[in-house]
Amino acid sequence: MPRPASEEEEKRIVWERILEAALKHHKRTKVYGMQKVIATDSGAGTAAVSKWAKAKSKPERETLRRLADLYGVSLAYLQGRDATGSGPEGEFAAPDELLRQAADITDLVVSEMLPEGTGEQFIWVMRRAHDLLLDGMEENAARGQLVLEVRDQKRKHWGEHEPVGEESNADS
């Protein structure tokens, strides 16, 4: 069984993935000056990016998500959990990568829109996220689409109408 990467190794992998994706996105071959470019792309300061490059820290998840969306790669790829990147080149990611992307989307949508949701609702969101990704939709677009669909489901099927307190007052 492979040994899990050390924290420093994980930070190094994250930086290498960010740098590789940034070089490809900006159609550059030289690393010189890329820390400043990545700082601009990420919205982080140059000092923070310098720490990433030295494996002293790594970007927060939302910063990684922003870079993944900009560079056209998956969040899992930048985090070092996937080797494919599953960018917009038209290649499908491995099935386990699609499940990881669907899980990322589901986690975000459920935590924001269904914090008190049921297991059935969670499964519906997960399946729908996976279906959208299988249809070739980019992670960011799938997340947006799913937010709209969950809002619709909440209104039409999951009974988000009037507060429970109002019903009990009518029965009194």
Count of Cβ atoms closer than 10 Å to residue 123 Cβ: 11
pLDDT at 27 over 50: yes
Cβ–Cβ < 8 Å for 133, 160: no
The pLDDT of residue 38: 95
Q: What is the pLDDT of residues 37-79, one digit of tens each?
A: 999 999 999 999 999 999 999 999 889 989 988 998 888 888 8
* Gap between the Cα atoms of 45 and 115, Å rounded: 33
Tens of pLDDT along 98-132? 778 888 888 888 888 888 888 888 889 988 998 88
φ, ψ at 105 (rounded to 5°):
-65, -45
CB–CB of 86/101 below 8 Å? yes
Please give the pLDDT value at position 160: 62
- Name 100's Cβ contacts closer than 8 Å, sequence gap at least 6: 74, 76, 81, 82
**Which range (29-33, 95-99, 117-121) has the least confidence?**
95-99
The pLDDT value recorded for residue 29 is 85
Q: What is the pTM of this model?
A: 0.50
pLDDT of residue 145 exceeding 80: yes
